[in-house]
Amino acid sequence: MMGICLDEVRRQGTLVHNITNYVTVNDVANMLLACGGSPIMSDEAEDVEDITSICNGLNINIGTLNSRTIEAMFLAGKKAKGLGHAVLLDPVGAGASTLRTETALKLMKEISFDVIRGNISEIKTLAHGSGSTKGVDADVADAVTEENLDEAVAFVKAFAAKTGCIAAVTGAIDLVSDGSDCYVIRNGRPEMGRITGTGCQLSGMMTAFAAANRELKLEAAAAAVCAMGLAGEIGWKHMREGEGNATYRNRIIDALYNMDGKMLEKGAKYEVR
Amino acid sequence: MMGICLDEVRRQGTLVHNITNYVTVNDVANMLLACGGSPIMSDEAEDVEDITSICNGLNINIGTLNSRTIEAMFLAGKKAKGLGHAVLLDPVGAGASTLRTETALKLMKEISFDVIRGNISEIKTLAHGSGSTKGVDADVADAVTEENLDEAVAFVKAFAAKTGCIAAVTGAIDLVSDGSDCYVIRNGRPEMGRITGTGCQLSGMMTAFAAANRELKLEAAAAAVCAMGLAGEIGWKHMREGEGNATYRNRIIDALYNMDGKMLEKGAKYEVR
Amino acid sequence: MMGICLDEVRRQGTLVHNITNYVTVNDVANMLLACGGSPIMSDEAEDVEDITSICNGLNINIGTLNSRTIEAMFLAGKKAKGLGHAVLLDPVGAGASTLRTETALKLMKEISFDVIRGNISEIKTLAHGSGSTKGVDADVADAVTEENLDEAVAFVKAFAAKTGCIAAVTGAIDLVSDGSDCYVIRNGRPEMGRITGTGCQLSGMMTAFAAANRELKLEAAAAAVCAMGLAGEIGWKHMREGEGNATYRNRIIDALYNMDGKMLEKGAKYEVR
């Protein structure tokens, strides 16, 4: 099923509108192209409704939000939902500032997101309506581990059920749930945490997967997570002596570029709880 | 002649002011450095007139335009023209939104551009005063092919003649015209379409070529197109197993970095119609 | 001593708030991760005080300043100083426009920076209250050379003494002074000048070094400069046939990723005057 989700993005050439941060936007665009989609970026209120209308999905990432782009997020989100597009929220830094937390919560109130993807700290903040995070990375104390896995699965299921979204909490172990089932995913490598933007890239790709597979919401989101982690594993195998996080970033995108449905089926490591 | 155009950029160290999108801006800067130029970015109304005054060329790209930067585009464009600088327009996404189409048309009305570079959908939009495009990539139906080449050449010549600019329409086959002659260029590789920003990089480089070769307007624009395509061919030869679009992006810029006038002369594939 | 400064960043995982330009921001983030720190970007007035509060250092870079982000720079800078954080100014393009020069001077007046890092043209502008630069690169006539080294050292010492900051002037020869002593650093390679953003990356890393080593202000700043130059030397050794500035950019960040305190101690090339 996961292989089909990737193949559909390639077949459809899914066009994704991104309102995303300027830190990792180039990698988001290249990752969307690597997985067979096509990116367009626009964050101006006067522009976003037109742009999102010609797309299949919308990726809202609040990583470098400002008053101008926040307005665009609401306009684009409502327009995209009205057109039946897949809409994803990446609440970067929710819990790290009042503006981020409140913007994310208000977006959730006014836009019925198809998918919300973040780290455990961010999702906890959204679940509790407040929180604290160590910048844009998850609190170490909050990491999902084998020890607290049952508790974490229950939390993500409850969050998905309450919000009506597919909830994706990514970290060393990734959890993706629709409220009933929860994919527990063990692809990826710890070195991915030393690259900026792997989460943002995943959000862009996940929007494409969701948009291209509207009948397979949970599977599509889980497939994107597996694809990203598997790309991290494959990319790492190509690392040579002296290479580090900058080259690794490219090798991960390259790995997605060369991945097909069969490779994803074979490499995906998950269980459903 | 093409080799001279590249050599002149390296000799002069042409300084280019870029008002460009935040998606591909880093690659535009590195491509300008690779071809021997020097980049500076500024998009604030209060800043752009000073900045453009110390430069030799201005590259206006509307890829992530907003109300603040649109104002800066007009101010910088008028100032640069007043100083006799080479000024280029890259109408990213013209036809995809009203704001983009109208901004591009208004810029053309108020600023006498030296060069306009876009894909066929964007240039058709500017020619017709409206249009529709598939995001930032050209409509497939609108692609320039061997079959519709005569018609496309006539269209680009007419557009160049009407606007008084050098018109560059890039895609699988590239067309560059001053209204009388039209370069038909067959450098490049299809895989370049799976990288974000090759068009933006070309616009930055083309501005440098135009600024460094004011007496060779048509040749300079065509030389930049050939150089980009040739870099794509050379970069592809250096690709290794497991590499994809992220690494290819770097290898293209690297190829320009190592290209000299003689290599460009030898590798350029074009005819003039 | 220099090795300790790097090791401390890795041990503490120093979190740096960056208000920086959108041209090189991704490389700044990956360089901070490469040296063991952690980046967060925020440039919205309503957001920056919260964000800077959870960090250890603040990096203010005016490379693509605008009216909105200038306001954020002042708010964040005052908040960070109030909390005792290390705060750095990178006055990109000071001297190239009135807005840049005046913004940098006003920031210096209202915020007591721990470190100011720029090229010789920018620092001369700040010293004289006005100036002219060739874009964002140093005036060639203004370069620090073996011939004018005594004069340059005296200038940097005087600037540091007058402003009460650590002053870092980087170029072919780098100078770092606290007003009494001046490190004269000869790491690095000339090819680093053909990559966009090596200065911006250094400013991000230097903020982390300063924040993690508050008792070693001068040594920490000098260590960051040596680490950047050494990474340039190591990265160059890994360059293969056909590679150029785009790949070199990655190899430099990769070299920092693989550098430890001992390597830095061994590779640092400096004298104290």
Residue reference for tokens 């299949």: A56
Q: How confident is the model at residue B164 (pLDDT cuts 50, 70, 90)?
A: very high
List of chain B residues whose C-beta atoms are within 8 Å of the C-beta of residue C121: none
Cβ of B135 within 8 Å of Cβ of A55? The answer is: yes
The whole-number average pLDDT for the span B150-179 is 97
Cβ of C251 within 8 Å of Cβ of A245? The answer is: no
List of chain B residues whose C-beta atoms are within 8 Å of the C-beta of residue A51: 93, 96-97, 135
List of chain C residues whose C-beta atoms are within 8 Å of the C-beta of residue B44: 64-67, 99
Which pLDDT score, from 0 to 100, does residue C137 have?
57
Cβ of A42 within 8 Å of Cβ of B244? The answer is: no
Just give the CATH number of B2-272: 3.40.1190.20
The annotation status of A197 as a binding-site residue, yes or no, is yes
C80, C110 Cβ separation under 8 angstroms? no
Name the residue facing C194 among B33, B234, B249 (closest C-beta).
Answer: B33
Cβ of A196 within 8 Å of Cβ of C29? The answer is: yes
**H-type alpha helices, B142-269:** 149-163, 198-212, 217-237, 245-257, 261-267
Q: Which chains touch C (3+ CB pairs under 8 A)?
A: A, B
Select from C20, C21, C22 the residue whose CB has the most chain B CBs within 10 Å, as the one to mutate to test that interface.
Answer: C22
Which pLDDT score, from 0 to 100, does residue B72 have?
98
Return mean pLDDT, chain C: 95
Tell me how far apart the alpha carbons of residues B236 and B238 are, in angstroms, rounded to a whole number: 5
> Per residue in B242-271, pLDDT tens?
999 999 999 999 999 999 999 999 999 999
Residue in A with minimal Cα distance to C24: A23
List of chain C residues whose C-beta atoms are within 8 Å of the C-beta of residue A21: 41
Indicate the SS3 state at residue B166. strand
In this predicted structure, the answer to whether residue B95 has a pLDDT above a threshold of 50 is yes
Select from B66, B119, B250 the residue whose CB has the most chain A CBs within 10 Å, as the one to mutate to test that interface.
Answer: B66
C95, C125 Cβ separation under 8 angstroms? yes
The whole-number average pLDDT for the span B202-221 is 98
Cβ of C33 within 8 Å of Cβ of A196? The answer is: yes
List of chain C residues whose C-beta atoms are within 8 Å of the C-beta of residue B43: 64, 66
- Rounded to the nearest angstrom, the minimum Cα separation between B255 and chain C is 7
- Rounded to the nearest angstrom, the minimum Cα separation between C255 and chain A is 7
Cβ of C244 within 8 Å of Cβ of B34? The answer is: yes
- Rounded to the nearest angstrom, the minimum Cα separation between C271 and chain A is 28
Name the residue facing C196 among B26, B54, B250 (closest C-beta).
Answer: B26
Q: Which chains touch A (3+ CB pairs under 8 A)?
A: B, C
Question: For residue A209, what are the CA distances in angstroms to A35, A41, A83, A264, C136?
Answer: 9, 18, 17, 13, 41
Question: For residue B251, what are the CA distances in angstroms to A169, A233, C24?
Answer: 35, 23, 19
Can you say how many angstroms the Cα of residue B56 is from the centroid of all Cα atoms in its chain?
Answer: 16
> Per residue in A42-77, pLDDT tens?
999 999 999 999 999 999 999 999 999 999 999 999
Per the DSSP assignment, residues forming a β-bridge with B219 are none
Q: How confident is the model at residue C197 (pLDDT cuts 50, 70, 90)?
A: very high
Q: What pTM does this model have?
A: 0.96
Amino acid symbol at B33: L
Please give the radius of gyration of chain C, using alpha carbons only, rounded to the nearest integer. Answer: 17
More confident residue, C141 or C54: C54
> Per residue in C65-83, pLDDT tens?
999 999 999 999 999 999 9
> Per residue in A120-134, pLDDT tens?
999 999 999 854 555
List of chain C residues whose C-beta atoms are within 8 Å of the C-beta of residue A243: 238, 251, 254
Cβ of C135 within 8 Å of Cβ of B44? The answer is: no
What's the token pair of residue C264? 């830095």
What's the token pair of residue A108? 């959730």
Cβ of C244 within 8 Å of Cβ of B234? The answer is: no
A271, A184 Cβ separation under 8 angstroms? yes
> Per residue in B15-42, pLDDT tens?
999 999 999 999 999 999 999 999 999 9
* Mean pLDDT lowest among A77-91, B229-243, C140-154: C140-154
Name the residue facing A99 among C50, C55, C251 (closest C-beta).
Answer: C50
Name the residue facing A137 among C38, C249, C253 (closest C-beta).
Answer: C38
Amino acid symbol at C270: Y
Residue in C with minimal Cα distance to B250: C246
What's the token pair of residue B70? 């649109």
The annotation status of A100 as a binding-site residue, yes or no, is no
Strand order across the beta sheet in which C15-19 lies: C38-41, C15-19, C57-61, C86-90, C115-118, C166-169, C174-177, C182-185, C270-272
- Rounded to the nearest angstrom, the minimum Cα separation between C260 and chain B is 27
Name the residue facing A26 among B23, B99, B242 (closest C-beta).
Answer: B23
Tell me how far apart the alpha carbons of residues B80 and B222 are, in angstroms, rounded to a whole number: 22
Q: How confident is the model at residue C133 (pLDDT cuts 50, 70, 90)?
A: low
- Rounded to the nearest angstrom, the minimum Cα separation between C1 and chain B is 34
The whole-number average pLDDT for the span C122-138 is 72
Measured over the CA atoms of residue B158, residue B159, residue B161 and residue B162, the dihedral's sign is positive
- Rounded to the nearest angstrom, the minimum Cα separation between A84 and chain C is 32
Residue in C with minimal Cα distance to B41: C64
The whole-number average pLDDT for the span A232-250 is 98
Residue reference for tokens 């009506």: A164
DSSP percent split of chain B into helix, strand, coil, nearest 5: 55, 15, 30
Q: Which helix (H) or strand (E) holds C219?
A: helix C217-237
Tell me how far apart the alpha carbons of residues C207 and C216 are, in angstroms, rounded to a whole number: 13
Q: How confident is the model at residue C140 (pLDDT cuts 50, 70, 90)?
A: very low
Question: For B165, phi and psi rounded to 5 degrees?
Answer: -105, 165
